[in-house]
Amino acid sequence: MRLELGKIFIRDVQFADETKVENGVLYINKEELLKEVSGDERLKSIDVELAKIGEEVRIIPVKDVIEPRVKVEGKGGIFPGFISKVDTVGSGRTHVLKGTAVVTTGKIVGFQEGIIDMSGEGAKYTPFSKTNNVVLVCEPVDNLPQHEHEEAVRMVGFKAACYLGRAGKNIEPDEIKVYETLPLLQQVNMYPHLPKVVYVYMLQSQGLLHDTYVYGVDAKRIIPTFIYPTEVFDGAIVSGNCVSACDKNPTYVHMNNPIIEDLYERHGKDINFIGCVITNENVYLADKERSSNYTAKLVEFLGADAVIISEEGFGNPDADLVMNCNKIEEKGIKTVLVTDEYAGRDGASQSLADSTPKGDAVVTAGNANELIVLPPMKKVIGHKEAANIIAGGFAGSLREDGSIEAEIQVITGATSEVGFGYLSAKGF
């Protein structure tokens, strides 16, 4: 499967009479955008704000972050199963408005949501301080059940990202990157002397607002399966969860999965990147055993010499991570684990809820319990009082002057489980 990603670099966003991209600026017709995303009776109001790089702006609580993209050539469309029909995506050409993002906020859905600061100390820890953000402020009707609230806000984000993405459909990209993964036997024969590497892509799927979707299907309903890496770039995998901000992969991170990007960069040079096995993270022991058995079997069937495994979430999913590691290692296949840690504010506590001697190559994305102080901002988009109840915050986190003392886990995208440098951990 071959996909061209045409990157259109956006250096500024502004409201205007027409939605268009011109000279690196994304102009947005606010009324037209609101009309595009409105109509869900579960939301009593939706507004649009802009948060630009370097501004003294805080967005809280952050539900999701999505990158505007549009299919230009090839089957299907962005976000199959939600916005587009359920065609297999990942081929042809997709245009990306690189440097901008859609952020959803409003009344808190679940307590495990996050913060984006566009400047100051907090900006150092989130990649979304480096994007010009179009913020959708979504307020629900009274007494709306949490799952319906989450779904309504999620769909607003997807609709907004697709609407903005269409502005780049007929724009000549500033850069075109080509990604290709061939059918298995062809892929193996292309680089027969290079080690075959598979990415085991663990998806949060514990329910209770801990959900990820694959082609519109809740990941807890799938069995582990193979997916072409290019499908991910077209939005085949999206976030629907309210896990701690530093622990969840927002939809933006799925669409720009840096492990996949890094593996493609090394493909044909020192590794043969075979593709991705997606697997879920379950609550019950029998489901964990079933999924980890199936994951190890798939990896063995694909003939992998080595596997990168990334975890989403923490605590209970640590058991899934360890089961995947143990069962794949038992088949003689090398594993490298990518995760963050909850080691206590002093860094001295047990980092993961489970462990194994076979997990002898682990890449850490940092300690989520580390305490930081976020300075006050001139403008807050959303609800500042959420700082006292989101995961990593506590009663009194929000100070009178508007500053926030909290654990680093409150920051959206901080200590993300996706990283780089993992292959060297096992000698590749």
Alpha carbons 162 and 165: distance in angstroms, whole number: 5
Q: Any catalytic annotation for residue 242? A: yes
Alpha carbons 381 and 147: distance in angstroms, whole number: 23
**Contact residues for 22 (Cβ-Cβ < 8 A; gap 6+):** none
Pairing of strands 100-106, 132-140: parallel
- Hey, how many other C-beta atoms are within 10 angstroms of the C-beta on 235? 32
Q: Where are the beta strands (DSSP E) in 264-390?
A: 272-281, 306-310, 334-341, 362-367, 371-374, 379-382
Local structure of 268: helix, strand or coil:
coil
Q: Cβ distance 32 to 15 under 8 Å?
A: no
C-alpha Rg value of the chain to the nearest Å: 21
Catalytic residue (choose from 138, 162, 242, 246)? 242
- Hey, how many other C-beta atoms are within 10 angstroms of the C-beta on 277? 27
* E strand or H helix that includes residue 256: none
Using omega within 30 degrees of 0 as the cis cutoff, is the peptide bond preceding 61 cis? yes
Catalytic site positions: 242
